[in-house]
């Protein structure tokens, strides 16, 4: 571990060990499985949230281009793009939350369900349960369907809109995905034979 305060840097090595109270109750391999599964869930939560950011960015750009154009074809297709992108956005993220009371009034969506699952998986020093894997598979399938819709709309409708925008000498819609910082997985916990 390295600690830097101002111009002073100190480095100290340490060894991470299993809590002695858990000896005989959980193995290093089970803890590694728990960590790996939690990272997998975290990555899907990030996929969900990044899709919402991307959809909102595209919709905002569409609004901007609609203000710059009076072409009925651009107006019609721009409205179609926004409508088609709103559907997966609303399945991934609860868009109606406006106040502290709203989470009680409106159901949580896929990003929150996945985040809640990550809390369940990380709650105890134990391997993930079969039910946790089942729930993840179900939520992952539902999320992938919505991500596929976003890609299909961007690949077809937004591409067509971009051609109309170029023909009208307007900037095309930037559909780039948000940049994700590189993830660094924690090294495996050394198995010193103590279980």
106-142 pLDDT tens trace: 888 999 999 999 999 999 999 999 999 999 999 999 9
Return mean pLDDT, the chain.
Answer: 90
Q: Is 49 domain-assigned?
A: yes
Model confidence over 84-104: pLDDT tens digits?
A: 999 999 999 998 877 777 777
Q: Is 88 domain-assigned?
A: yes
Q: Is 178 domain-assigned?
A: no
Residue 60: domain span? 27-167
* pLDDT of 174 above 80: yes
Q: Is 60 domain-assigned?
A: yes
Q: What is the tally of structural domains in the chain? A: 1
Instruction: Please give the span between the terminal C-alpha atoms of the chain, in angstroms, as a whole number.
Output: 26
Q: Is 126 domain-assigned?
A: yes
Q: Is 8 domain-assigned?
A: no
Other CB atoms within 10 Å distance of the CB of residue 179? 7
Which of 10-19, 33-42, 55-64, 112-121 bottoms out in mean pLDDT, i.e. has the lowest?
Answer: 10-19
Q: Is 157 domain-assigned?
A: yes
Q: Is 7 domain-assigned?
A: no
Total-model pTM: 0.82
């Amino acid at each position: 571990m390295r600690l830097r305060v101002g111009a002073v840097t100190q480095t100290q090595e340490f060894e991470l060990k299993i809590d002695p109270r858990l000896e005989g109750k959980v193995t290093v391999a089970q803890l590694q499985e728990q960590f790996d599964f939690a990272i997998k869930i975290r990555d899907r939560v990030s996929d969900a949230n990044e899709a919402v950011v991307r959809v909102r960015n595209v919709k905002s750009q569409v609004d901007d281009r609609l203000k710059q154009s009076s072409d009925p074809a651009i107006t019609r297709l721009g409205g179609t793009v926004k409508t088609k992108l709103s559907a997966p956005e609303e399945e991934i993220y609860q868009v109606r939350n406006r106040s502290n009371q709203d989470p009680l009034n409106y159901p949580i969506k896929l990003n929150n369900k996945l985040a809640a699952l990550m809390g369940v998986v990380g709650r105890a020093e134990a391997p993930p349960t079969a039910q946790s894997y089942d729930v993840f598979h179900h939520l992952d399938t539902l999320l992938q369907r919505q991500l596929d819709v976003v890609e299909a709309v961007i690949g077809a409708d937004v591409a067509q809109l971009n051609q109309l925008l170029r023909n009208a000498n307007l900037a095309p819609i930037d559909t780039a995905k948000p940049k994700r910082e590189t993830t660094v997985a924690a090294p495996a916990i050394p198995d010193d034979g103590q279980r």
